[in-house]
Chains A and B, each alone.
Chain A
Amino acid sequence: MTDDDRTGHEHQNGHGQEHEYEDRNGHEDNHHIKDGNVKQPPDEGRRNDQQGSGRAQGGEARPQVRSERAARTLAVPDLSLVVLIGATGSGKSTFAARHFRPTEVLSSDFCRGLVSDDENDQSASSDAFDVLHYIAGKRLAAGRLTVIDATNVQSEARAQLVRLAREHDVLPVAIVLDVPEQICAARNAARADRAGLPRRVIQRHQRELRRSLRHLEREGFRKVHLLRGPEEIDAAEIVTERRFNDLRHLTGPFDIIGDIHGCRSELETLLGRLGYALERDALGRPVDAVHPQGRTAVFVGDLVDRGPDSPGVLRLVMGMVKAGHALCVPGNHENKLGRYLKGRNVQHTHGLAETIEQLETEDDAFRAEVAAFLHGLVSHYVLDGGGLVVCHAGLPEKYHGRTSGRVRSFALYGDTTGETDEFGLPVRYPWAEEYRGRAAVVYGHTPTPRANWLNNTICLDTGCVFGGTMTALRWPERELVDVPAEKVWYEPAKPLAATAPGGADGRPLDLGDVAGRRIVETRHMGRLAVREENAAAALEVMSRFAIDPRLLPYLPPTMAPCATSRAGTGGETAGGAADEEGFLEHPAEAFAAYRADGVREVVCEEKHMGSRAVVLVCRDESVARERFGVPGGVSGALYTRTGRPFFDDPATTERILHRVRESAERAGLWAELETDWLLLDAELMPWSLKATGLLRRQYAAVGAASGAVFPGALGALEAAAARGVEVTQLLGRQRERASDAAAFTEAYRRYCWRVGAERPAGTDQLAGIRLAPFQILAVQGRSLAGLPHTEQLAMIDRLIAAEAEAAPESGAGPEAEAGAEPQDALSAPAAVPGGGRTRLLAPTRRLVVDTEDEASIAAGIAWWLDLTGEGGEGMVVKPLHALVRGKDGRLIQPGIKCRGREYLRIIYGPEYTRPENLRRLRVRHLGHKRSLALREYALGLEALDRLADGEPLWRVHEAVFAVLALESEPVDPRL
C-alpha cells in the first residue's frame, strides 16, 4: 500500500508563505485546476453525471513551492519533465550533469549546435527548440524522465514546455537556479565561446527570472524547487519518487470487484464466495474482510448511489483499504459524492439522492471520514509488474501510469464521442476496440449482461443494482466469479447493452495490426520480421479472398524438401545407396538431416496429394458463436493455405463439418480433450477439387499438347528414317520424350477424380471427397502442436474408425470407370455400395523410423519406394515428438518432405528424370526455403499459443497474417 506516501507535508515557498501540500493526497493527476481541460464546465451540474466531458475534480491543487535554504533533497516524480530555469552562466548544465543521466538531459545549446554547427548561434534558436521539443516529446511518449537544460527565463518558453508535459500526461517540475549576476558573468567570461556575451544579456535574464518566480505555480508547474546561490545549488540532492498510481511492485493475487452501487449484501456474498472472512463492528456492520491466503481486493469504483446501503459499502471498503486488504479507485459516483460532501452544488440525480439520504443517518465523523477517503483516491493503479491496470471507466495504454487531468477524467468517465443516444445518454467511444496494450485493463462503469474480454480488457460492471449480477475477476487466474442481485434495486434508464463496449459483432480488426513492415514477437523464435511488400500482398488476399479472421486462427507453414539427393553425380550421398540414382529427392537425406540434428525417432507420414485444408469444427453453432463470435448458421470453417474458403457453397462446408463433428462425437474426442471445438490440419482430396483451374490451364494443357504433337513428329521421323535419312538419335530421343510426356499425364491424372454431382446419380454430395486429417492443432485452451505424432494419429484413427462404424456395411467402391477415385489396397475402401453414403475421412499411413538404425532406415526407404511406386505423392518425415529443439536450442524443422519420383514430374516437368536435366536440376538452393519454413512454423505455433491463451483476436490474427505475408516471399516455388 502507498498510504505511507500519503501523509501531508508542509513546505515553505520562496516568499515565506506556508502551503499545505494537499494535492499529494490523491490529486496527483489533477495538477492544474485552472487549466481549461480540467475546469468544471459551468453547466456541469445540469448534465447527467455519465457525461465525461472533463471534470476531474477534487481538492484545489496548489503546487508546492519550496525554498531551499539548506542542503536538502528535491523530490522529482520518476516520470516528469524537469525544467531548469536560470540565467546564462547560472550552472544549469553542471547541475544537470551531476544529478541526471546524460541521455536524460536535453540542452538547447546542444540542439543549436545540431542545427547550425554553432552552440551560440542565437539565430538558430527557433530550429533548435523545434528539435529539442521533438526529442523531449519522443522521450515523454516513451515514459522517460526528461530534463530541459535551457535558460527558460521567459514565460513563453516555459509555457511551451508545460504544454508538452501535458500532451504526454506527465508532471512539469521547475528547478530554479538563482545565481548572482556577477557569478554568471564571471563564468561566461571564463568560456572562450561566451566571453563576448554582453553583460546586459545576463541582466535581462536575471530580471526575467525575478519576474517569473511568483508565477511558476500558476504556469502549471507541479513542483517548484528554488535554489538560491551556488552553495545551495551545490548542496542540493535529487530524489526521484514513485507516482501514486505506480503499484507495479504489488503482485497480488487480486480479486477485482466490479461496480457495487450500494449493494452491500451482494458485496458481502461475493466476498464470501471469493474466500474472504468478514469482520464486523459492535453493531454487526462489516468493517473489514480478510482473505486467508492474503489476497487483495481491488474495487473498480462506483461503490455508491442507487443501491440500498451505500454507507455500508463505504464502511466496508474503507476498512479494507485502511487495513491494507484492498485497493480502491474512484468511480464517477464517488467523484460526485466527494464534491457534494465538500459542499459543492451538484445535482442529486442518478442515485445520489439515495446516498445522501442514507448518509443522513450517519454521524459527522463518518461523513468526514468518507470525504477524506474519497479525496484520497487515485484515479487508476498499475499493478503486478505492469501487467494489470485497474480503473473505473477504462484507460488507453498511453495513459497508463500517467498523471494529468485528462487521464483522471478518462479513468472516471471513459471516452465519449460527443453524441447522445436515443435515451439521451452519452455515446461512449469504444476505446477497448482499439486497445492493443499488453497490460490487462480491468474496469467497470458500463453495465453489461456479462463480463467479456475484449482486446485484453474486461468490464466488470454487470449491473447488480439493476438486477444483474456483481462480478469479480480473480487475477492472475483470470477467473470470473459472480453473485446474482437479490432484487432489482434501481430501474435502468435504458436496457443493458448486449455486449461490453466494443464487443459487438462484425467489428473488424484494425489495419494497424497488420499493415506495413512489422515485427512479430514469437515464443519459439523470437522477433520475426515481415516486410512491407509482403504485408501488402497478404493484405490484398486477406481482404479480398480470405474468410472472416475470427474463423481463421491458423495458417499452415510451408515445408522444406529434403536435401537434394546427389546419387549418380559422383558426390557423397547420405544413404550411400546406389539405388538413389535418378532421384532428386530421397528419404535417406531426410533421415540423415534429422540424425544430424540429434532427432532419433521420426515418423514417416504418407503425403496425400490433395490440397492443404485447415478445418475448424465446433460442436454446434452456439459454440461457434460463443468461442469465435461468428453469426448464426456457421459452425466452423474449412479453408485453404491462404485462408480462402475451400468451397464457394457454405452448405458443402457445413456438410463436411457435420461429418467430422459426428465422428468426433462418436469417438468421444470432445470429452477426452475437454473441448467443444477442434482445429485440424488436413489434406483434402482430390487435388482436382480445388486446382481445376490450374489443372486445365497448366497440367492437362501440357498433357494435351504433348499427346497431340508426338504422333505426328514420330511419324515424320520414322518416314524420314525409312527413306534412309539418318535420324536415329533424334528419333530415339523423341520416343523417350513421348514416353516422359505420357508418364507426366499419368502422374497428374492420379490426383484427379470426380466428386459429388459429377458422379453417377445416387451418390451423396460428398462422394469422392476425402479428408485426411493428420494433426489436431488446438482445442479449447490448449495448443496440441507439441503432442507426439503417434498420439495425434492415434486420436485421428479413432475419428476415422468412428466414421466407419457409422457406415459399417461399406464395401468395395462401385466405380471402376475412368476418372474415378483410385482404390488403394492399404486404405479403407471409401465408397458404400448401392449409392449410399461414402466415407469422408481418409487415414494417413505412417511408419516410425529410428535414424540411428540402418535397418530401420532401410525399411523407411523401402516403404517410401512402395508408396511412391504405386503413384503416391511421397511422404513427410517428422520428429516423433513434433515440437523439437536442437542441442543449441534452435527450433528443428517440423517436417521434411520427400516427394516421389513420378510425382515430381508435376513439379519439374515431364522430362526432369533425363540425366542431363537431373544434373542441372540438382543445383537448387534450399536455404531460404528452410528458413521460411521455420519462420512460418514459429508464427503458426505462436498463433495457436495465442489462441489457446485466449489472447485478443488481433494478437492471433497478427501471427496468422504474418504467415500469409511470408508465403509471398520470393522462394523457389518448386521446393
Chain B
Amino acid sequence: MFLTITTTGSADRPATDLGYLLHKHPDNAQQFSTAYGTAYVLYPEADAQRCTAALLLEVDPVALVRRGQGKGRGGTPDSALGQYVNDRPYAASSLLAVALRTVFASAMKGQCTARPELPGQPMPLRIEVPVLPARGGAELVQKLFEPLGWTVEAEPVPLDATFPEWGDSRYVRLVLEGECRLAEALRQLYVLLPVLDDAKHYWIAPDEVDKLLRAGEGWLEDHPQQRVIVGRYLARRAALTRRAMERLELERLAESDDTDAEDIDNAVDEEVDTEEKPVPLAVQRREAILAELRAAKAARVLDLGCGQGQLVGALLKDRQFTEIVGVDVSMRALHEARRRLRLERMSERQSARVRLVQGSLAYTDSRLKGYDAAVLSEVVEHVDPARLPALEYAVFGAARPRSVVVTTPNVEYNVRWKSLPAGQVRHADHRFEWTREEFRTWAREVGARHGYAVAFAPVGPEDPEVGPPTQLAHFRLEGDNGSAGSKEDRGSSNSNSNGSDSGSGAMRGKEAAA
C-alpha cells in the first residue's frame, strides 16, 4: 500500500522543507518496522520547486493471517478474516493509518525542533492515494474531504477490465489538493482512511476514543459528516467485540459453498427498529398483532420467527400473556434478542414467562403444540415459495394453535415508498411479496385445508388505491370455543371481504398513522 505527499515551493521557501516536517531526509530511503510489516519512506522527487515523499508499506500477508491463528481447531478464529487473498497488502486501509502514525509521529503532532516555525504554516499539498478502499464510494470521499478545504479527485477503480460488466471496485484513486498544515493533513488521513475502509478488521486499540479526539482536534469538531466519521470509526470496535463472541459455523458453511458470509448470515438486520429508534410501521404492526391476540384472549403465545425479540418485548409488557415463546432459526437473532430483552437481568417472575428457542418452520416441532396463539409477523415472505407448504403444515397442521396471526408486506403499496426502486422487494431476503389478493387466496386455502376461519385487517395507513403497507390475517381454529366472546365479532368480519374490521389495535394503528 502506498501514498505520496507532494508540496511545491520556491527558492526562498523550498519544497524540500517537507523533509524537515516529516523528519525524514529526502536523500535517503528509510525503513521502519510496524505491527503489520515494514514501512519505507522515500522521495521520488526532491528539489526546491517540488518535493514528493512516498510512504510504502510492505505488508506480510502470511503473518497477517497467521497472527490471528492458534485458537481452536483449525487455527483461524475467523475464517473470513483469515483469508490469504486479502487486499490489505495493496489498499490504503487502517494498516496504512497505523503506519502513518508510527512513521510520522512527530509530524502529526506538529513538532519540528530544527525548524519550529514550519509546522504552523499552511503549505500547498497534493496527496495521492492510488488505492483507497471507500465504502460509500467516491461520493462519500468527496463529502469527507471537501469540507476540510481540499480539492478532491476521487476516481473509481474498475474491478476487472476483462469483465466490465462487473463494474467498479470499492477502491478509488484519491488525489487531494489544497493549502493545509501538514500535521492536520496527516491527522485527517489517520482518521479518514480507516473510516472509509470501514472494514471488519482485527486491529483494536483500547484507547480508540482518546486517539480519535486527539487526531480530530481542529477539524473534526465542526465537520458536517462528524456523525458518520465517529460512528464508523468507533463502530469497528463494537463489531469486533460482537464477532468475537459469535459462532463462525455459518461463515464456514458460506465459505464451503463459495458464498459471501453476509449472504447466509443475514438474519439479523442492523437497520431494524429498536426501542431507541422505532420504525412507525413496525410499531403499528405490533399494536395490531397485540390487539388481535388480546381479542383472541390468548395467554400462551408463540412468536414464530421472533427475530430480535421486538414483539416478545411488547408481549412481556402485558400481563395477559403468561407464556411467551420466541422461536427463530437464527442463533444470531436469538442471541441479539436475549441481549435486547435483558433476559439475564430479568426478575425470575418475568423471565419465567418468556423463552427463546431455536426452531425451524421447515420442520414440525412437538414443543410448539398446544398454544393459544402463534404469530408469524413478517415471516412468510422470507420462505421460498416451494417451502411454504412445509411451513403451513408445521404451523397449522402440527403446532395447531387456536389462533394464528400472520402479517406480510402488501406489495401493491410498494409504489408509495419513495425510496424503493420500482419492482424491488422491501428487503433483500424477501423471497416474494404478495398483493392483497395473493395473500388472501393463500390464507383462505390454508384455512380451508386446516380448519381455520380467516379474517383480514390492514396495518398502517390504508391507501384507497393500493391498500395498507402491511396486511394481516387472523386464523381461528374452527369449532374453537376458547374465545367465545369475540367469536361473533369475527363472524361478521368473515363476511366482510374488505377486511376492514381489524380490531381495535389496527384502528389505533390507523389513527397513529393519520
Q: Which of A882-910 contact B (CB under 8 A)?
A: 906-910
Report Cα–Cα, A547/B385, bound state, in Å.
11
**A715 touches which one: B44, B62, B84, B264 (CB < 8 A)?**
B44
Q: Which of B1-50 contact A (CB under 8 A)?
A: 1-2, 4, 27-29, 40, 42-46
Q: Is A70 an interface residue (CB 8 A)?
A: no
**B393 touches which one: A506, A541, A707 (CB < 8 A)?**
A506
Q: Is B506 an interface residue (CB 8 A)?
A: no
Count of chain A residues with a beta carbon within 8 Å of a chain B beta carbon? 105
B65 shortest CB reach to chain A, Å:
8
Q: Which of B134-188 contact A (CB under 8 A)?
A: 157-160, 162-163, 165-167, 169-171, 173
Q: Is B363 an interface residue (CB 8 A)?
A: yes
B255 shortest CB reach to chain A, Å:
5
Mask of B341-361 contacts with A, CB within 8 angstroms, 1/0: 000000000000000001111
Q: Is A571 an interface residue (CB 8 A)?
A: no
Chain B residues, Cβ within 8 Å of A601: none
Q: Is B54 an interface residue (CB 8 A)?
A: yes
Q: Is A71 an interface residue (CB 8 A)?
A: no
* Contact in complex: B43, A725 (CB < 8 Å): yes
**B247 touches which one: A537, A558, A818 (CB < 8 A)?**
A537
Q: Which stretch (A508-516, A804-812, A845-853) binds chain B?
A: A508-516
Chain B residues, Cβ within 8 Å of A611: 258
Q: Is A640 an interface residue (CB 8 A)?
A: yes
A974 shortest CB reach to chain B, Å:
7
**A725 touches which one: B42, B86, B391 (CB < 8 A)?**
B42
Q: Which of A345-393 contact B (CB under 8 A)?
A: none
Q: Is A712 an interface residue (CB 8 A)?
A: yes
Q: Is A323 an interface residue (CB 8 A)?
A: no
**A972 touches which one: B74, B256, B394 (CB < 8 A)?**
B74
* Contact in complex: A719, B257 (CB < 8 Å): no
Chain A residues, Cβ within 8 Å of B263: 693
Report Cα–Cα, A116/B45, bound state, in Å.
89
Q: Is B464 an interface residue (CB 8 A)?
A: no
* Contact in complex: A509, B363 (CB < 8 Å): yes
Report Cα–Cα, A312/B22, bound state, in Å.
112
* Contact in complex: B259, A720 (CB < 8 Å): no
Chain A residues, Cβ within 8 Å of B45: 719, 723
Chain B residues, Cβ within 8 Å of A644: 257, 259
Known: A540-B250, A964-B253. A928 touches B84 (CB 8 A): no
Chain B residues, Cβ within 8 Å of A745: 160
Q: Which of A711-769 contact B (CB under 8 A)?
A: 711-713, 715-720, 723-727, 730, 733-734, 737, 741, 744-745, 749, 752, 754, 758
Q: Is A703 an interface residue (CB 8 A)?
A: yes
Mask of A477-511 contacts with B, CB within 8 angstroms, 1/0: 00000000000000000000000000001111111
Chain A residues, Cβ within 8 Å of B79: 970, 973
Chain A residues, Cβ within 8 Å of B1: 709
Q: Which residue of B lies closest to A697 (CB)?
A: B260
* Contact in complex: A749, B162 (CB < 8 Å): yes
* Interface SS majority for chain A: helix
Q: Is B370 an interface residue (CB 8 A)?
A: no
**A970 touches which one: B72, B91, B173 (CB < 8 A)?**
B72
Report Cα–Cα, A506/B66, bound state, in Å.
48
Q: Is B318 an interface residue (CB 8 A)?
A: no
Report Cα–Cα, A903/B306, bound state, in Å.
44
* Contact in complex: A909, B250 (CB < 8 Å): no
Q: Which residue of B lies closest to A911 (CB)?
A: B61
Mask of A959-972 contacts with B, CB within 8 angstroms, 1/0: 00000100111111
* Contact in complex: B386, A547 (CB < 8 Å): yes
* Contact in complex: B27, A725 (CB < 8 Å): yes
Chain B residues, Cβ within 8 Å of A702: 85-87, 90
Q: Which residue of A lies closest to B386 (CB)?
A: A548
* Contact in complex: B253, A968 (CB < 8 Å): yes
Q: Is A701 an interface residue (CB 8 A)?
A: yes
Report Cα–Cα, A698/B91, bound state, in Å.
13
Known: A509-B364, A921-B62, A928-B74. A537 touches B249 (CB 8 A): yes
Chain B residues, Cβ within 8 Å of A508: 362-364, 390-391, 393-394
Q: Which residue of B lies closest to A706 (CB)?
A: B90
* Contact in complex: A512, B249 (CB < 8 Å): no
* Contact in complex: B130, A712 (CB < 8 Å): yes
Q: Is B381 an interface residue (CB 8 A)?
A: no
* Contact in complex: B365, A510 (CB < 8 Å): yes
Chain B residues, Cβ within 8 Å of A539: 329, 358, 360
Q: Is A400 an interface residue (CB 8 A)?
A: no
Chain A residues, Cβ within 8 Å of B2: 709, 712-713, 716
Q: Is B408 an interface residue (CB 8 A)?
A: no
Q: Is A705 an interface residue (CB 8 A)?
A: yes
Chain B residues, Cβ within 8 Å of A752: 162-163
Known: A548-B386, A709-B90, A920-B66. A536 touches B166 (CB 8 A): no
* Contact in complex: B84, A909 (CB < 8 Å): yes
* Contact in complex: B393, A641 (CB < 8 Å): no
Known: A511-B360, A725-B42, A968-B249. A705 touches B90 (CB 8 A): yes
Q: Which residue of B lies closest to A905 (CB)?
A: B85
A895 shortest CB reach to chain B, Å:
16
Q: Is B83 an interface residue (CB 8 A)?
A: yes
* Contact in complex: B169, A705 (CB < 8 Å): yes
Q: Which residue of A lies closest to B1 (CB)?
A: A709
Mask of A840-879 contacts with B, CB within 8 angstroms, 1/0: 0000000000000000000000000000000000000000
* Contact in complex: A705, B166 (CB < 8 Å): no
B332 shortest CB reach to chain A, Å:
9
* Contact in complex: A543, B44 (CB < 8 Å): no
Known: A704-B160, A733-B58, A968-B252. A543 touches B361 (CB 8 A): yes
* Contact in complex: B159, A704 (CB < 8 Å): yes
* Contact in complex: A725, B257 (CB < 8 Å): no
A281 shortest CB reach to chain B, Å:
51
* Contact in complex: B86, A973 (CB < 8 Å): no
Chain B residues, Cβ within 8 Å of A641: 256-257
Known: A508-B390, A700-B160. A709 touches B331 (CB 8 A): no
Chain B residues, Cβ within 8 Å of A507: 364, 390, 393, 397
B167 shortest CB reach to chain A, Å:
8
Q: Is A542 an interface residue (CB 8 A)?
A: yes
Known: A698-B85, A715-B44. A727 touches B90 (CB 8 A): no
Q: Is A533 an interface residue (CB 8 A)?
A: yes
* Contact in complex: B43, A536 (CB < 8 Å): no
Q: Is A544 an interface residue (CB 8 A)?
A: yes
Mask of A931-973 contacts with B, CB within 8 angstroms, 1/0: 0000000000000000000000000000000001001111111
Report Cα–Cα, A640/B54, bound state, in Å.
47
**B42 touches which one: A505, A545, A717, A741 (CB < 8 A)?**
A717
- Report 21 cross-chain contacts, Cβ distance below 8 Å, ordered by A residue: A508-B393, A509-B362, A511-B365, A538-B253, A540-B264, A540-B329, A540-B330, A544-B329, A692-B166, A694-B260, A705-B91, A705-B157, A705-B171, A709-B130, A719-B45, A720-B42, A723-B46, A725-B28, A730-B40, A909-B86, A920-B66
Q: Which B residues form the contact surface with A (CB < 8 A)?
A: 1-2, 4, 27-29, 40, 42-46, 52, 54, 56, 58, 61-62, 66, 72-76, 79, 82-87, 89-91, 128, 130-131, 133, 157-160, 162-163, 165-167, 169-171, 173, 247-250, 252-253, 255-260, 263-264, 267, 329-331, 358-367, 382, 386-387, 389-394, 397, 451, 479
- What would 20 more interface pairs be, CB under 8 Å, given A509-B364, A725-B27, A758-B165? A419-B451, A508-B362, A510-B363, A511-B366, A536-B249, A540-B250, A542-B360, A543-B329, A548-B387, A644-B257, A694-B260, A700-B159, A701-B170, A702-B86, A710-B90, A745-B160, A907-B85, A964-B253, A967-B252, A970-B73
Closest 7 CB pairs of A and B: A506-B389, A537-B249, A909-B84, A719-B44, A968-B249, A508-B390, A705-B90
Q: Which A residues form the contact surface with B (CB < 8 A)?
A: 419, 433-434, 505-515, 533-534, 536-545, 547-548, 558, 611, 631, 640-642, 644, 687, 690-713, 715-720, 723-727, 730, 733-734, 737, 741, 744-745, 749, 752, 754, 758, 818-819, 906-912, 917, 920-921, 925, 928, 964, 967-974
